[in-house]
Chain A
Amino acid sequence: MDKKEIIARRVAKELKNGDVVNLGIGTPTLAANYVPEGVTVIFQSENGMLGIGPAREPGSTDDTYTNAGGALITAIPGASVFDNTMSFAVIRSGRVKTAVLGALEVDEFGSIANWMIPKKSVNGMGGAMDLVVGAKRIIVAMEHTVKGKPKILKKCTLPLTAAREVDMIITELCVIEVDHEKGLTLTELAPGVTVDEVRAATEVPFKVSPDLKTMELM
């Protein structure tokens, strides 16, 4: 199982029947593939849709529905479409229960940076700031380090997407819960990973839950 699959499978465990969920572009989107049978999650997309279904078959040219990453998608029975204003009304009003997104950096109190590297690359924030502030629960799904350097920091160095909003971090190594006042607690380790390995890959100290578990990935 590669890193992305570990992360996506673990993210899927957080999605419950009836939840309205927004998955960011990249690894978070993969989590949709691992939602258990019998669980209906209503996936929301910033361009203006509730009820995203599976991706179209490769080679399809039916562009009736696209997701926020531009991929051609289907609609589940009961889906709805609307304009961008309604889409962000849904997001800001807290009707999205869980938003899962990637990050360049996360800090110990849940501040997140994921939209620009000054003087180097500027993507724009897209819908990320609205989602991080508006959704009830924010999960960051990302690789634990970049080129061997920690991404979970004492303090973000890049311009913030939002301050103190992230509730959980899921990486290929572990699951970390974030308290916006008290900091980080390690709650799960991926199979075969040790606490010391997570410490070595994380810039900021964290508490270890007395209830530390092994990540369930099936």
Chain B
Amino acid sequence: MINKVTTLDEAMKDIRDGSSIMVGGFLDSGRPDTLERKLADIGARDLTIISMCTGTEKSELYRVFTQGQVSKVIASYIRFNPVSIQMILKDPKSVTLLPMGTLTERIRAGGTGLGGILTAVGVGTLVEEGKQKINIDGRDYLLELPIRADFAIVHAYMADEMGNLVFRGTKRNFNAVMPYSADFVIAEAEHVVKAGEISPDDVVVPGIFVDAVVKV
């Protein structure tokens, strides 16, 4: 019998200084608010945050930044988090910006046994700096390498004891991608049910990708 449902404290207990953490959500949509709040409360420092955006000023993730817990960022859009904008202006190396489709595919590659992906997006721009260019059938592509993290924290609409995840509306976004690619995946869910209560047809992220489920 497998039961991944646990407490917030237990789920987040191994996060420490220097951890790399993928954070689901898209702007304010489908953010793992409870897990972000806990991350701020834990106070671990020198974190690497990997996220579509660096949160908005009303997000819990923003507090993780204002408390100075973050030393590195990999993201696509930082406009709504002034702390992350200051980070990149002061030290461009502290924030890696990627085209959103490249970010999402690099994360996917990190957890799906791929050695990288080739994309034409970013050719001829700052994004190509330091990257290997490969020509296939006359078109230049950038070799973009996999991204992994120690932890992923994501938000789901429903989870079962096995860790199977179901989402609603546009809240799948990165929440359904990041579980592939972290060593320890924590999902918060609005509804937590017994195994068997979610139809196999409805599962979006299979439970094997999820290590801990927290009811919010």
Chain A residues with CB under 8 Å of chain B are 45-49, 63-66, 68-70, 75, 81-85, 87-88, 91-92, 119, 121-130, 133-134, 159-163
Contacts of B101 in A (CB 8 A): 87-88, 91-92, 127, 129-130, 134
Contacts of A83 in B (CB 8 A): 172-177, 204
CB distance from B119 to the nearest CB of A (A): 7
Bound form: Cα–Cα A190–B85 in Å: 38
Contact A123/B177 with A47-B26, A65-B169, A85-B108 known, Cβ cut-off 8 Å: no
A84 to B, closest residue via Cβ: B104
Chain B residues with CB under 8 Å of chain A are 26-29, 52-53, 56, 75-79, 85, 88-89, 97-102, 104-105, 108, 119-127, 168-177, 204
CB <8 Å contact, B78 and A66 = no
CB distance from A57 to the nearest CB of B (A): 17
CB <8 Å contact, B88 and A70 = no
Bound form: Cα–Cα A125–B76 in Å: 6
Bound form: Cα–Cα A49–B173 in Å: 9
Bound form: Cα–Cα A5–B12 in Å: 49
Contact A130/B126 with A81-B169, A84-B104 known, Cβ cut-off 8 Å: no
16 A-B pairs (CB sep. < 8 Å)? A45-B170, A47-B27, A48-B170, A63-B29, A75-B169, A83-B175, A83-B204, A85-B104, A92-B101, A125-B97, A129-B99, A129-B125, A130-B121, A133-B120, A160-B125, A163-B125
Return the 9 tightest CB-CB contacts between A and B, nearest first: A88-B101, A64-B169, A130-B101, A163-B124, A129-B99, A83-B176, A123-B79, A124-B77, A70-B27
CB <8 Å contact, A130 and B99 = yes
Bound form: Cα–Cα A179–B102 in Å: 28
CB <8 Å contact, B76 and A124 = yes
Bound form: Cα–Cα A125–B77 in Å: 6
CB distance from B24 to the nearest CB of A (A): 10
Bound form: Cα–Cα A165–B88 in Å: 27
